[in-house]
Amino acid sequence: MRRVDLHTHSTASDGTDDPAALPSLAKRAGLAAFALTDHDTLAGLPAARAAAEEIGVELVAGIELGAWQRRGEMHVLGYFVAEDHPGVNRTLADLRRGRAERIHRTVERLVAAGAPVAVEDVMRIAGEGSPGRPHVARALVAAGHVGSLQEAFDVYLAEGRPAFVPRRELSPTECVALVRRAGGVSVLAHPVTVAAEVLEKEVEALARYGLAGIEADHPRQDEAFRARVRALAKAHDLVVTGGSDYHGGAKPGVAMGAGDGSVAVDYAAIEELRERL
């Protein structure tokens, strides 16, 4: 089996590894290929590609888009996306502006909740990356308000907690359309985050709209859930994919190419996705 990882993040979004560092990690993990799928940005791809070519590992140009945060979260992955489409890049810049504004509102709520952090600190942690809750979580740990990133989510940042602010987001079909506009194919990320009672209906609607695949292997999905995903894929003619959702130090215990040890994706997934282009 030639292994691949179709879901990874870098400092271009909320991962902690430089995009140029990911290819050597992929190589060391024994992977033939990996996809960089940063949230709402393509900015890490040029550096990742240069390093991938030098090291001799295949890079799939990817992205992860947030589709909604109701009844769970729906995320859509895009693969084989063009980086130079002006309309696509305008939309992505809009989404990132929304993320930056959201940091301000999140910080206001943290102040009100008695856990003040500075917007500047969050933005410094985010650096060039598209800012998100994991950066706020790191600021909360650094300020001593919580002991861990997970505690930051559990106490303040998760949906339903006092500092949760919804993200500006595209609808699921807008995500698929944006990926298509960039010349790519779409895959439903970690379907376990979609509320169970709406999953089937959402997958059916998205498949009709041109969704190409769905993630089965993912650290947050157990074997029983993966079996359900494979059945859904079969019913709606979707490619079964998977990935670690590697975030470096932002997700301890999740390794490139393997996740928690339960993720093993064959190169065939990339070939099948390419056939859907």
Residues 123-152 that bind Fe ion (CB under 5 A): none
Nearer Cβ to ligand AMP (39/145):
39
Residue 17 is a binding residue for Zn ion (CB under 5 A): no
Distance CA 221, CA 227 (A): 10
Residue 202 is a binding residue for Fe ion (CB under 5 A): no
Nearer Cβ to ligand AMP (219/257):
219
Q: How far is the CB of 39 from Zn ion (least distance, A)?
A: 7
* C-beta atoms surrounding 161 within 10 Å: 14
Nearer Cβ to ligand AMP (133/226):
133
User: Is residue 52 within a helix (H) or strand (E), and if so which, with residue range?
Assistant: helix 45-55
Which residues have C-beta within 8 Å of that of residue 261, sequence separation ≥ 6?
255
Distance CA 183, CA 160 (A): 36
Residue 133 is a binding residue for ligand AMP (CB under 6 A): yes
DSSP letter string, 75-127: EEEEES--S--HHHHHHHHHHHHHHHHHHHHHHHHHHHTT----HHHHHHHHT
Nearer Cβ to Fe ion (12/189):
189
Number of helical H runs and strand E runs in the chain = 10, 8
Residues 64-123 that bind ligand AMP (CB under 6 A): 66
| Nearest residue (beta carbon) to Zn ion | 245
Single out the residue of 245, 248, 259, 270 in contact with Zn ion (rule: CB under 5 A).
245
Distance CA 131, CA 133 (A): 7
| Residue 257 binding partner per list Zn ion, ligand AMP, Fe ion, none, with a CB distance cut-off of 5 to 8 Å that depends on partner kind | none
Which window, 25-33, 59-67, 79-87, 100-108, contacts Zn ion (CB under 5 A)? 59-67
Nearer Cβ to ligand AMP (132/172):
132
**Contact call for residues 264 and 37 (beta carbons, < 8 A):** no
Q: Hey, is 218 helix, strand or coil?
A: coil
Can you give the binding site for ligand AMP, defined by CB under 6 A?
Answer: 39, 66, 132-134, 150, 153, 158, 167, 247
**Contacting residues toward Zn ion, per CB under 5 A:** 64, 245
